[in-house]
Amino acid sequence: MTANSAIVSASALAAELAGPRPPVLLDVRWQLGGPNQRPAYDAGHLPGAVYVDLDRELAGPPGAGGRHPLPDPEEFGAVMRRAGVCADVPVVVYDGGQGWAAARAWWLLRWSGHRQVSVLDGGLAAWTAAGGAVTSEPPAPVQGDFKPTPGAMGLLDADGAAALAREGVLLDARAGERYRGEVEPIDPVGGHIPGALSAPTADNTGPDGLLLPAAELRARFAGLGATGGAPVGVYCGSGVSGAHEVLALEVAGIGAALYAGSWSEWSADPQRPVATGPDPQ
């Protein structure tokens, strides 16, 4: 892994796969509102990688808890074991390049107690750009032994997010126009949780699709008041891009909790307050 084990470069992953203790690979390609990415996986994936469906296997059924509520831990554990995940074997997750879906898998595994999980920085795009091989051959994973023990990463509910917006730092990882309430293509109402700060997760990556260097991420988050001196939380639309912001904070050396229900849960209750415009309040 890289110096920060939350991410791994394509070259470092290639070396690990050729080594004596190769990681388990999970392909988590996903597109918000788009077609299922299983056909893209079938057409070409990292050798040995197992496809994991974000909507069905990394989330529970949509409802009062949001569009992507957390999956049942036992069901999630069964999915991971079928994919070959073991408690003492490193796991590397990747997606098409955006990193959001891979970060969701990373966060769930970390939250569930797995200590050796990394996101392939830049995803499949970075892998192929570095000359990495892909295959259409189906994998044959050996049954794993991973059993989730939830609670290893910070998790917020709606009340906890509201409190953190008042007493700590709550970052909104969605695009700025959704934060401001200028447009809302998915959820019932636009705007943000009162007191939350706009911090689009897209700004954590460079034009090459790779995460910014740790020092640049630290500077960015410090400008938002997130230095680790006060509790930090993140939300997004449904707990996917927000997981990517938690990943970026981790790389910057700042621990953060995720409000998994995020705006899709918050905005579903008309009794919850909504702020609009560029200011937090």
Return the residue matching tokens 């700060």.
197
- Both tokens of residue 9? 């470069």
C-alpha count within 13 angstroms, C-beta hemisphere, residue 227: 5
Return the residue matching tokens 């990681």.
23
Q: Is there a catalytic annotation at residue 86?
A: no
**Positive or negative torsion for Cα 217, 223, 227, 231:** negative
The residues facing 257 across adjacent strands are: 233
The active-site residue, picked from 25, 92, 124, 236, is 236
Phi, psi of 35 (to 5 degrees): -70, 155
The residues facing 45 across adjacent strands are: 135
Among the listed residues 226, 219, 218, the one whose alpha carbon sits nearest the alpha carbon of residue 198: 226
CA distance 276 to 77: 39
CA distance 76 to 252: 28
CA distance 250 to 51: 25
Return the residue matching tokens 């529970």.
60
- Both tokens of residue 189? 């109402």
Active site residues: 236
